[in-house]
């Protein structure tokens, strides 16, 4: 059974054809890396699964996007906030809210009507532990999230996404704004999280894609050029474009 | 180099000229026209202040014991009463005998309080000149009576004017802040591009309409409306001022807070939406907290505009210098007082100085507000 | 109550309040246009007031306002533009820069009536100009100064540093760069801002009350030391303190309309200019 699937998916920004007939499926509890040069459509593709593209005026989407084999766009029973509870997202730059560490993690629970105090506390603690941040912040939960370092902020954002117990985690270049040590921590974390979540990660960093992902998809000018096991993509790609990209000859 | 300092120079000049005139008030006596107050030398009362003098003249105080003296009723004498005591011959054609006659009069009346100009003081004066307290800052700020042309002692209590200003401005903001904030949020986060394109120039235009036109509009439209709705004797009330000022403060509040709201990073809003929050939850849980300092700056700037506004308030509030008790009474604000009275106050006189002192108060308040707003916005920049 | 219902209610409240703001403006404009429109005629604009200002025109007030606008701009424009250039283009020590910015903002925040007091103390009494065009222009010029400084600064900020570096790379000095490259590029934006500050100055009443404005003058000014009538003060006078307030009501509507039209036209002009310039930049 496929966790996530798109069938012949086209996306337009006004007249610009940003995604061209993408058909692709992702199994549960795997890490899938989306790679490709800037503007190839990989971030746009990522943002399909929690419907973040809806926020941009003039976007038109054709084709099917399935989550747990249910269409998430043309489906009256699927409310957008319900979808976003199932599909968490971590952004390129750490973007904590101007609130305390605790309230940042509790945010998703509160906006979805889960306000019971002991439940929230327990969930915040679990999420922070999952994000490997608990030991560093357990004594300063009431402090502003801005007081944390960049790497800690990003792990806080991951904890925030985990708190509402999604089954899918979308990561849009989650380590691109971080130093190498923080990046390594995030990568370890991704490896851990794979046991519970299905992860899709956009990255510009080939080594990172190689280290963390099971499968890799190469996008180029809105087309899905090649999608296969990560070791095949990096060692024996079929398409010459993929070959030159993963070996660093363009992009 | 010099040109860059021009605004500092201007502020400096304003401070110098405003405060020089304003502060000279506190070295002058409230007695107008070089009057002096004279009593019998046996009278124990040797000091009076402006409020007491007015009370005596208004016959609210008629006994010396209320002034710390003996239990005798006060016989009040001013130069206009001269014919009750002396004939024209006795005074002399050129008033040459007047000083001695006045001296004798006070001498023979131990309970008399006489007010006359110092040029009529006798050479062999045998009475006592009462020491009149100079205008001073506490009485000026706390005094509840504003009669800057009262005879013989002016009453310069600005408490009613300060309270009037605060009352009108406070209710103006109370009305303008929610409306302005709602409009700012609507423009920044909810409205589509088309509607925003209509609203933006509308707000610019609202900011551009001269205050005297707002005043005129208030006078012809709002004032009669208040008169009819509340069934009042006059429509010129604090409420009318608040409504007009509220409308005038709207553009400031809307533009400043819209800018602040717009400055919320997109990624922060997306993070909230990605967690399943809807737009409204994102606005009140993330956007508003994030832009709080900008929004408070907007509110404070709006108050600053309202406090300093002159013409519109002058035209619609009825300008009664009494302690404000309700929104449905006429009040008078500091700027309106200056505008209404400066034309009639002779340059250099007590009244003129008092109006400059009012200007100083206004200047200090707005300066404090500006520095406050600056502090808020620097803090905001440092947080980013 | 579900969160989406709350959202709907909140947005409807916002929508209604925003519409309210729109309505307020239309209400004011409607009031002035509908009642003032029939007054608008060539005679109204070019005749002297008659019969205790209940009839005739508002010619001297229009002329007076034009004089004051011109006078204040002569004061504020060169000084303000120079100050703006200096603050933005020349590196100052940061404390000094912060201080100057604070003072400029403070100057902008001072109520106009305080400018009036100051103008009276300095220009009218101390410098002995008396109530005169020159005293009024200087006062209004000071009032417009922070606006001009800010507009200039913003126009300069909008110019990309690459233009400055390009000029330096060709060996130009700072002064040459500012004069030949930066100022010509910034000028259209500065002028747009200037038009808006003219709108502000032309409507100000409080600063001219005691420095120049005359209740009624039977003739036009002949020198800088004459008093003038001015549109906003004229409106104030005939709507409140004239002897025949009721009879001069129509004149007041007409005067208010002329004032608002003046501001409206300046606004439209500034917007058109901004749009035109925006397009020009895009084409480049």
C-beta atoms surrounding B96 within 10 Å: 9
**Of residues B238, B244, B246, the one with CA closest to residue B323:** B238
**Of residues C214, C211, C248, C213, the one with CA closest to residue C126:** C211
Q: What does the buried/exposed string (b/e) look like for B166-196 if buried means 16 or more CB atoms within 10 Å of the residue's CB? A: bbbbebbbebbbebbbbbbbbbbbbbeeebe
Contact call for C145 and B315, based on CB within 8 A = no
pLDDT digits (tens, 9 = 90+) for C15-37: 999 999 999 989 999 999 999 88
Distance of CA C20 to the CA centre of its chain: 26
pLDDT at A230: 92
Contact call for A164 and B275, based on CB within 8 A = yes
Distance CA C250, CA C113 (A): 28
pLDDT at C137: 94
Distance CA B10, CA B17 (A): 11
Distance CA C121, CA A75 (A): 75
Task: Name the residue among B193, B270, B285 with its Cβ closest to that of A52.
Answer: B270
Domain A2-246 has CATH 3.40.50.10890: no
> Chain C contacts of B333, Cβ < 8 Å?
none
Contact C22/B199 with Cβ under 8 angstroms?
yes
Fold of C44-283: MetI-like fold (1.10.3720)
> Chain B contacts of A99, Cβ < 8 Å?
289
> Chain B contacts of A124, Cβ < 8 Å?
none
Residue B253 Cα, gap to closest chain C Cα (Å)? 12
> Chain C contacts of B301, Cβ < 8 Å?
109
**Could you state, in order of their start, the residue ranges of all structural domains in chain C?**
44-283
Phi, psi dihedrals of residue A10, rounded to the nearest 5°: -120, 140
Residue B210 Cα, gap to closest chain C Cα (Å)? 5
Preferred mutation among C1, C2, C3 to probe A, highest tally of A CBs within 10 A? C3
3-class DSSP state for residue B230?
Answer: coil
Residue A18 Cα, gap to closest chain B Cα (Å)? 21
Scanning C124-183 for CB atoms below 8 A from B yields: 125-126, 142, 145-146, 149
B178: CB partners within 8 A, 6+ apart? C17
Scanning B168-207 for CB atoms below 8 A from A yields: 193
The percent helix, strand, coil of chain C (3-state, each to 5) is 75, 0, 20
Triad B56, B59, B60: Cα angle to 5°: 85
Residue C170 Cα, gap to closest chain B Cα (Å)? 26
Scanning C264-283 for CB atoms below 8 A from B yields: 264, 266-267, 271
pLDDT at B102: 84
Contact B154/B147 with Cβ under 8 angstroms?
yes
pLDDT digits (tens, 9 = 90+) for C90-121: 766 678 778 888 888 888 889 999 999 999 99
Which stretches of A6-143 are DSSP H helices? 42-46, 80-86, 101-111, 117-130, 134-137
Residue C2 Cα, gap to closest chain A Cα (Å)? 9
CA distances for B198 relative to B178, B191, B194, B203, B204, angstroms: 20, 11, 7, 9, 11
User: Which subunits have 3 or more CB–CB pairs within 8 Å of chain A?
Assistant: B, C
Distance CA B216, CA C252 (A): 8
Residue B90 in contact with partner chain A when CB distance is under 8 A? no
pLDDT at B3: 64
Identify any residues that bridge with A66 across adjacent strands, giving them in sequence order. Answer: A5, A71
Task: Name the residue among B267, B275, B286 with its Cβ closest to that of A84.
Answer: B275
pLDDT at A251: 47
Phi, psi dihedrals of residue B316, rounded to the nearest 5°: -120, -10
pLDDT at A78: 80
Residue of B nearest to A144 (CA): B383
**Of residues B199, B288, B301, the one with CA closest to residue B249:** B301
The percent helix, strand, coil of chain B (3-state, each to 5) is 65, 10, 25
Distance CA C134, CA C123 (A): 8
User: How many helices and strands, by DSSP H and E, does chain C display?
Assistant: 12, 2
Preferred mutation among C82, C113, C268 to probe B, highest tally of B CBs within 10 A? C113
| Average pLDDT score over residue span C141-162 | 88
Q: Is C4 exposed, middle or buried (0-12, 13-18, 19+ CB in 10 A)?
A: middle
| Average pLDDT score over residue span C196-209 | 89
B303: CB partners within 8 A, 6+ apart? B169, B173, B249, B369
Distance CA C109, CA B364 (A): 11
pLDDT at C164: 85
For chain C, what's the residue count? 284
Q: pLDDT of chain B along its 384 residues, tens only?
A: 566 678 888 888 888 888 888 888 888 888 877 788 888 888 888 888 888 888 888 888 888 888 888 888 888 888 888 888 888 888 887 888 888 888 888 888 888 888 888 888 888 888 888 888 888 888 888 888 888 877 777 888 889 999 999 999 999 999 999 999 999 999 999 888 888 888 888 888 888 899 999 999 999 999 999 999 998 888 899 999 999 999 999 999 999 999 999 989 888 999 999 998 999 999 999 999 999 988 999 999 999 989 999 999 999 998 888 888 888 999 999 999 999 998 888 888 889 999 999 999 999 999 999 888 888 877 766 554
**Of residues C71, C43, C76, C242, the one with CA closest to residue C148:** C76
Residue with tokens 């707005």: B366
Work out whether strand A215-220 and strand A223-229 pair parallel, antiparallel, or are unpaired: antiparallel
Using the Cα atoms of residue A207, residue A209, residue A211 and residue A212 in order, give the sign of their dihedral. Answer: positive
Distance CA B47, CA B29 (A): 13
Contact call for C28 and B11, based on CB within 8 A = no
Confidence of residue C165 (pLDDT cuts 50, 70, 90): confident
CA distances for B196 relative to A13, B191, B256, B262, angstroms: 22, 6, 15, 13
3-class DSSP state for residue A242?
Answer: helix
Lowest mean pLDDT among A98-102, B254-258, C38-42, C272-276: C272-276
> Chain A contacts of C3, Cβ < 8 Å?
81, 111, 113
A244: CB partners within 8 A, 6+ apart? A250
pLDDT at B176: 94
Q: Is C283 exposed, middle or buried (0-12, 13-18, 19+ CB in 10 A)?
A: exposed
User: How many helices and strands, by DSSP H and E, does chain B display?
Assistant: 18, 8
Distance CA A215, CA C179 (A): 60
**Of residues A48, A95, A62, A51, the one with CA closest to residue A202:** A48
**Of residues B291, B335, B286, the one with CA closest to residue B313:** B335
**Of residues C193, C102, C181, C98, the one with CA closest to residue C153:** C193
Scanning B260-289 for CB atoms below 8 A from A yields: 265, 267-268, 270-278, 281, 285-286, 289
Contact call for C6 and B280, based on CB within 8 A = yes
> Chain C contacts of A113, Cβ < 8 Å?
3
> Chain C contacts of A81, Cβ < 8 Å?
3-4
Residue A177 in contact with partner chain B when CB distance is under 8 A? no
**Could you state, in order of their start, the residue ranges of all structural domains in chain A?**
2-246
C-beta atoms surrounding C156 within 10 Å: 22
pLDDT digits (tens, 9 = 90+) for C119-128: 999 998 888 8
Triad C201, B257, B294: Cα angle to 5°: 110
CA distances for B102 relative to B32, B47, B171, B298, C37, angstroms: 19, 20, 55, 63, 67
pLDDT at C91: 63
Domains in chain B with CATH codes: 35-133 (3.40.190.10), 159-383 (1.10.3720.10)
B382: CB partners within 8 A, 6+ apart? none
- Looking from the CA of A240 toward its CB, the CA atoms found within 13 Å total 0
Contact A51/A83 with Cβ under 8 angstroms?
yes
| Average pLDDT score over residue span C117-145 | 91
Phi, psi dihedrals of residue A65, rounded to the nearest 5°: -120, 120
Higher pLDDT, C261 or B138: C261
Residue A47 Cα, gap to closest chain B Cα (Å)? 10
Confidence of residue C283 (pLDDT cuts 50, 70, 90): very low
Distance CA B110, CA B92 (A): 25
For chain B, what's the residue count? 384
3-class DSSP state for residue A10?
Answer: strand
On the question of a cis peptide bond just before residue A231, with omega within 30 degrees of 0, the verdict is: no
> Chain A contacts of B383, Cβ < 8 Å?
146
3-class DSSP state for residue A196?
Answer: coil
pLDDT at B24: 86
Residue B284 Cα, gap to closest chain A Cα (Å)? 11
pLDDT digits (tens, 9 = 90+) for A3-40: 999 999 999 998 899 999 999 999 999 999 999 988 88
Can you read off the two tokens belonging to residue C16? 């209604």
pLDDT digits (tens, 9 = 90+) for A57-93: 888 999 999 998 888 888 777 888 889 989 999 998 8
**Of residues A209, A242, A250, the one with CA closest to residue A226:** A242
> Chain B contacts of C145, Cβ < 8 Å?
6-7, 10
Distance CA B134, CA B31 (A): 9
Can you read off the two tokens belonging to residue C134? 């020159």
Task: Name the residue among B267, B276, B289 with its Cβ closest to that of A95.
Answer: B267
Contact call for C252 and B216, based on CB within 8 A = yes
Residue A176 Cα, gap to closest chain B Cα (Å)? 15
Distance CA C49, CA C238 (A): 11
Distance CA A212, CA C191 (A): 57
> Chain B contacts of C10, Cβ < 8 Å?
280, 283-284
What is the biggest distance separating any 2 CA atoms in chain A, rounded to whole angstroms?
A: 56
pLDDT at A82: 87
Distance CA C46, CA C58 (A): 7
């Amino acid at each position: 059974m496929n966790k996530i699937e798109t069938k012949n998916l086209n996306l337009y920004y006004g007249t610009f054809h940003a995604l061209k007939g993408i058909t692709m499926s992702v199994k549960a509890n795997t890490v899938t890396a989306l790679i490709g040069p800037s503007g190839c459509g990989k971030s746009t593709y990522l943002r399909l699964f929690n419907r973040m593209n809806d926020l941009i005026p003039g976007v038109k989407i054709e084709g099917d996007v399935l989550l747990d084999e249910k269409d998430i766009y043309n489906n009256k029973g699927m409310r957008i906030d319900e979808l976003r509870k199932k599909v968490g997202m971590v952004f390129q730059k750490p973007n904590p809210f101007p609130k305390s560490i605790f309230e940042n993690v509790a945010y998703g629970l509160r906006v979805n009507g889960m306000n019971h105090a002991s439940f929230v506390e327990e969930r915040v603690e679990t999420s922070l532990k999952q994000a490997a941040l608990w030991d560093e912040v357990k004594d300063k939960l009431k402090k502003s999230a801005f007081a944390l370092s960049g790497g800690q902020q990003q792990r806080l954002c991951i904890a925030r996404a985990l708190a509402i117990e999604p089954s899918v985690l979308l990561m849009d270049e989650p380590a691109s704004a971080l130093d190498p040590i923080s990046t390594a921590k995030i990568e370890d974390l991704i490896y851990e999280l794979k046991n519970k979540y299905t992860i899709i990660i956009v990255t510009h960093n080939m080594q990172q894609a190689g280290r963390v992902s099971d499968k890799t998809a190469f996008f180029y000018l809105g087309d899905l050029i090649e999608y296969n096991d990560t070791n095949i993509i990096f060692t024996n790609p079929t398409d010459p474009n993929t070959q030159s990209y993963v070996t660093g000859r363009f992009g | 180099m010099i040109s860059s300092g021009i605004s500092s120079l201007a502020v400096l000049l304003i401070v110098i000229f405003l405060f020089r005139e304003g502060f000279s008030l506190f070295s002058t006596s409230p007695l107008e026209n070089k009057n002096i107050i004279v009593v019998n030398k046996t009278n124990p009362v040797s000091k009076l202040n402006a409020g007491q003098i007015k009370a005596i003249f208004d016959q609210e105080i008629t006994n010396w014991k209320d002034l710390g003296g003996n239990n005798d009723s006060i016989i009040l004498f001013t130069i206009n009463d001269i014919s009750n005591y002396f004939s024209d011959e006795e005074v002399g054609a050129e008033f040459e005998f007047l000083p001695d006659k006045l001296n004798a009069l006070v001498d023979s009346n131990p309970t008399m309080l006489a007010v006359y100009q110092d040029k009529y003081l006798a050479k062999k004066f045998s009475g006592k000149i009462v020491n009149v307290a100079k205008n001073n800052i506490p009485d000026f700020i706390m005094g509840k009576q504003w009669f800057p042309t009262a005879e013989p002692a002016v009453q310069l209590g600005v408490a009613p004017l300060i309270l009037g200003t605060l009352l009108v401005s406070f209710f103006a903001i109370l009305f303008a802040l929610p409306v302005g904030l709602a409009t700012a949020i609507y423009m920044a986060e909810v409205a589509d591009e088309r509607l925003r394109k209509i609203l933006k120039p509308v707000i610019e235009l609202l900011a551009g309409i001269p205050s005297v036109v707002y005043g005129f509009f208030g006078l012809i439209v709002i004032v009669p409306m208040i008169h009819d709705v509340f069934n009042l004797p006059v429509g010129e009330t604090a409420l009318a001022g608040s409504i007009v000022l509220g409308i005038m403060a709207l553009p400031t509040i809307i533009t400043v807070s819209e800018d602040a709201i717009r400055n919320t990073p997109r990624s922060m809003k997306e993070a909230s939406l990605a967690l399943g929050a809807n737009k409204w939850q994102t606005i009140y849980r993330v956007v508003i907290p994030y832009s709080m300092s900008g929004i408070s700056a907007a509110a404070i700037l709006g108050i600053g505009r309202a406090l300093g506004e002159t013409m519109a308030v002058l035209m619609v509030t009825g300008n009664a210098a009494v302690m404000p008790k309700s929104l449905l009474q006429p009040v008078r604000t500091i700027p309106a007082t200056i505008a209404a009275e400066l034309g009639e106050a002779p340059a250099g006189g007590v009244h003129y100085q008092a109006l400059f002192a009012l200007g100083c108060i206004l200047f200090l308040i707005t300066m404090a507000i500006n520095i406050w707003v600056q502090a808020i916005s620097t803090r905001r920049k440092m947080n980013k | 109550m579900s969160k989406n219902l709350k959202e709907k209610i909140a947005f409807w409240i916002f929508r209604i309040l925003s519409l309210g703001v729109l309505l307020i403006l239309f209400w004011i404009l409607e009031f002035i246009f509908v009642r003032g429109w029939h007054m608008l005629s060539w005679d109204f604009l070019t005749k002297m007031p008659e019969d205790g200002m209940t009839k005739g025109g508002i010619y001297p007030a229009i002329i007076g306002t034009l004089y004051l606008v011109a006078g204040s701009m002569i004061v504020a424009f060169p000084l303000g533009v120079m100050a703006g250039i200096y603050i933005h283009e020349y590196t100052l020590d940061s404390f000094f820069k912060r201080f100057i910015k604070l003072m400029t903002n403070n100057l902008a925040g001072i109520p106009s009536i305080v400018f009036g007091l100051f103008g009276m103390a300095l220009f009218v009494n101390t410098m002995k100009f008396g109530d005169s065009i020159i005293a009024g222009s200087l006062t209004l010029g000071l009032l417009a100064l922070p606006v001009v400084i800010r507009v200039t600064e913003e126009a300069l900020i909008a110019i990309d540093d690459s233009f400055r570096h390009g000029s330096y790379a060709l060996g130009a000095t700072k002064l040459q760069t500012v004069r030949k490259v930066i100022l010509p590029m910034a000028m259209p934006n500065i002028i747009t801002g200037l038009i808006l500050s003219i709108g502000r100055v032309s409507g100000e009443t409080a600063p001219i009350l005691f420095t120049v404005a005359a209740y009624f003058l039977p003739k036009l000014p002949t020198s800088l030391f004459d008093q003038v009538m001015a549109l906003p003060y004229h409106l104030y006078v005939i709507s409140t303190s004239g002897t025949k307030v009721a009879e001069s009501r129509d004149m007041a509507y007409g005067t208010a309309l002329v004032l608002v039209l003046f501001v409206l036209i300046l606004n439209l002009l500034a917007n058109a200019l901004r749009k035109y310039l925006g397009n020009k930049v895009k084409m480049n």
